[in-house]
Copies of this chain bind each other. A is one copy, B any other.
C-alpha cells in the first residue's frame, strides 16, 4: 500500500507519518487491512530531521505544479492525506499565494487522483476557519459556512471539491474540519490561532511569551493526539457511513486564553515557567473573534470521532509527547 501525505514535513504531517509507521497498516478502499509498504512525505522543504524508516520516501516540490503532483500521485497510490496549505494569517497576507496553494494545489491534486486507473481514498484537512461572521458561539453540523478569511474560503472550496469528486466516483474522499490544534510544538507559524499553542508551549519551556488576544478569548481546541486519531479514523471509515456529504466537523472544546495560562501553572511541576504578557493585536483579535468558540457534532460522535476531556488532557499530552521525550 502506497500512502502519500502532503504537508508531510509539517507538524501534523510528521506526527501522522510516525503514527502510520508505528501501526504499519491501514484500512483503505478495499475494506481490508493493508500493510503500508511506502509512505511518501511531500512538502516544499525536506523534513528535519528525516524519519529513519525504510518505508519513508521524502519528496520536495510545489503542490501547485500539476506536473509534480501528477508524478507524486503515481499509479498504485492507495491513499492521500492532504494537509499541505498556506495557513490563515499567511493566506490573508498574500492573497495570490493562498489561492495558488490552497485552491489550485488542492484542485491539481484531485485531478491527479482522478487520472489514476482506480480511485484512491483521500482525507482532506479542512478547518473551523470555514465558519465566520454571524455564527453561534457553538458551531454544529447545521451551521452554514460563511468564512471571513481567504484561508477559510479556500478550505470551504476544498471541501466542496472533495465532495464533488467523491460524488462523481473520481476519488473516495472525506474532509475533516479541524478545530485549533493545540499544543503545537516548535516555532510559532503564521496562523492567527498560533497563540493558542504559544501560550502553553513557551512558558512550559521557560520562555516568556506575548499573547496577541484578550485573556477572555475562547478557542475551539483539539489536541494533536486526537486529531491524528481522527485522520486515521476518517481514512478507515467505509464510504457508506458518511452519508450524502463528505465533510465532518471535529469536536473542539471551548477554552479561554486565561484558562490555558492557568493550566500552565497547574502543570508546571518543578519547571521554571516563562511569563505570559497580553498585548492584543487588532487584526489577530478580529480574525479570532470571527471563529467558533466551540464545535460539537452529532455526526462526528456517531462516526466515532472523539474530542478532549479538557485542557488538562491537552497540556499533559504535550508534556508527554514533546517535553518528556528523550532528545533524539
Contacts and interface: CB of A to CB of B under 8 A. Distances in A.
Interface of A: 95, 132-134, 141-148, 150, 153, 156-157, 160-161, 163-164, 167-168, 243-245, 247
A153 B144 contact: no
Contacts of A157: 157, 160
Q: Secondary structure of the A side of the interface?
A: loop
B244 A133 contact: yes
Counting every copy of the chain, the complex holds 2
A133 B163 CA distance: 12
Contacts of A144: 141-145
Given A95-B168, A168-B95, A147 B160 contact: yes
B164 A153 contact: yes
A141 B132 CA distance: 14
Which of A142, A163, A164 has the most chain B CB atoms inside 10 A of its CB?
A164
Which of A150, A160, A168 has the most chain B CB atoms inside 10 A of its CB?
A160
Given A144-B143, A145-B144, A145-B145, A168 B150 contact: yes
Contacts of A160: 147, 153, 156-157
